[in-house]
A and B are shown apart, each in its own frame.
Chain A
């Protein structure tokens, strides 16, 4: 390689590639790194948890070690009724999201409030914690560690809320990633023309702490970032997931009936072969009504997925 031209060439190459990476990586990182988290970003990272894709805590994306979002209508300590409030429950061993682990991620103002008033640095993974998104002036939001400030325990909060007010949205987002929903349904209404149909595009600070963002790139189906604002019917979702063509005859969405698992809500075994045979008869006009879609069990995967979709407001 002892050739003067190649020495010059390799220096130019380093300059070109290094310059390119300075402009496309270093300079944007200054901008993106200085973005403060919005209320949406705090809510999202708290309900979605540390990581929705592959992680050592949940290698098969089965929804292990995920937080719960619960709607509290009574104080878990005193039992006194209170204004309905959302809380995010991290049981023992559940990894905390980016904003708790790295408060810089929240932006300077939210970081200060979250540490001083919210006591988020006192949260301990081995003990579990309950978080809330708070604001005093409805402008600057911060995260509060209710375990430190109010003494709420994860077990107590889950018990007070009850299963019907507990959303398995984080486990659902893992399913969204595992089942490849995002190959067709984007999570990114476009800035140019999606306002009317799919709702407001996300803003700059709406993603802090979220991983993966899973925007999707190929929109073979409607954008679903705000789907629950358009359609908040769990029953419709249930029919649609079991067989999309029950509610939308022209849909090309796959069936997700396998997410029901072996048994329905009453513990009865689901006979998928029989269901499909009856559905085919219905399609051929031999039956007037399609077969009944079984109600899903509360610990089934489809429950997690529907909870996730219901959270996309």
Chain B
């Protein structure tokens, strides 16, 4: 891929940048989940690798989070945008060269950012932990170029209308840039106190709500109709989903600070808006599941559909939790416990990752014109991810309920730590399973590129039978 960085735009084969984004995403996924499993081991066995500052939990914890959010998830989004946006506009990507450079700068910037974060250079603000010069880099050299490529491709489309997926891609790339500018104002202009605390969570909430959630859903709006051959069940429900995301998902940031002394009206407002997140959630899930009508056999037979539908199904518990756990009635019990950690993984490792994995599987096969090398490895990947994630989620949810009870009934803290220990081990096992599954995936994708059966011109990957 790197040889095309200096080539003329016309000389770069279409789809090159998508492949670069895709492989980068998978590698970051392996790194991110590997770090996660390592961190989990430290919580289960505190003397596992000890005495080294750079392998300590406090230094590595957020490297895992940022590697997953900006490495895996966002680069998988980039991959999806590089091939879905032009496909839906019946055109070519506006600039393959910009796409390649963007992926290259993304990898360089993220490696640099994670290195300084690992070193301990951080802002002390959750989800915007990078020091401000890295934040600026992410904005200017990672997010804005991606947005320009997506927007220009949509503007130069050869279709009259714009399909649902592309609304979300266009809005998502725009909104993440706004969020990163506003959310990092405390670092750029040294805002302090509650302003800093609130903007920290405004930023964190909106990275999730205006970038990860809508773009992941947009991918499913492409994958399901494309592979099943069914048209999207309802364009109008798609509208409802889009507009309710913008209105209801951008407003509840304060529900992350329900126990902080923020203005009470703000907390109440955020809490109500937080329940209304169920509107886009129900619109999305029902639209996708209705689109599956008559094609449910593919849920079993086709890997991409299985991943996507599983992700959509996980959106149901995710949003039921998300809508109600932030109300005062429930938040006082589970705030700050492992329940929230489980919920965050349900969002990023359950719902969103499963949709992105499907997009990367589908996109890589389509662009490289190679059938997936091994269905067996694909199945192993699916089940390792699902069982690993479920183990993680169940164990952390239980641990969270224990912590919540300990908090309410004022149990000495150490008794909570003792009670949680088995669940910490289960969490580590689940995380390790996810990591192992991803290693298989990387190998499978590599073999697909090298030795997958060539897909004939005009055929889709799912029209060919699996061979291994």
Contacts and interface: CB of A to CB of B under 8 A. Distances in A.
Contact of A210 (B192, B336, B424): B192
- Residue among A3, A221, A251, A254 facing the most chain B CB atoms (10 A cut-off): A254
Contact of B52 (A12, A178, A258): A258
Interface in A174-210: 177-183, 186, 188, 190-194, 196-197, 201-204, 206-210
Contacts of B335: 190
Interface in A190-248: 190-194, 196-197, 201-204, 206-222, 244-245, 248
Nearest to A9: B167
Interface in B355-393: none
Contact of A217 (B52, B120, B171, B336): B336
Contact of A60 (B61, B120, B160, B338): B120
Interface in B403-426: 403, 407-408, 410, 413-414, 417-418, 421, 424
B266 A28 contact: yes
A20 B124 contact: no
Contact of A257 (B51, B58, B123, B424): B51
B95 interface: no
Nearest to B157: A1
Given A17-B246, A206-B261, A3 B192 contact: no
A16 B260 contact: no
Contact of A212 (B43, B61, B125): B125
A24 to B, nearest CB: 5
Interface string B44-70: 101100111100111101100000000
B46 A251 contact: yes
Interface residues of B, number: 80
A54 B263 contact: no
A52 interface: yes
Contacts of A202: 260-261
A193 B251 contact: no
Contacts of B108: none
B257 to A, nearest CB: 8
Contacts of A245: 46-47
B59 A179 contact: yes
Interface string A245-264: 10010111111011000000
A254 B58 contact: yes
Contact of B132 (A41, A54, A183, A251): A54
Interface string B117-129: 0011111111000
A17 B206 CA distance: 12
B92 interface: no
Contact of A201 (B246, B259, B341): B259
7 contacts: A1-B155, A180-B58, A183-B57, A188-B260, A190-B259, A193-B332, A219-B403
Given A54-B132, A193-B332, 19 more contacts: A1-B155, A17-B246, A35-B194, A53-B131, A54-B123, A54-B124, A178-B58, A178-B122, A191-B259, A191-B261, A194-B407, A201-B259, A204-B194, A207-B192, A208-B193, A215-B197, A251-B46, A255-B47, A258-B51
Top-4 shortest CB links A-B:
A180-B58, A212-B124, A53-B124, A54-B131
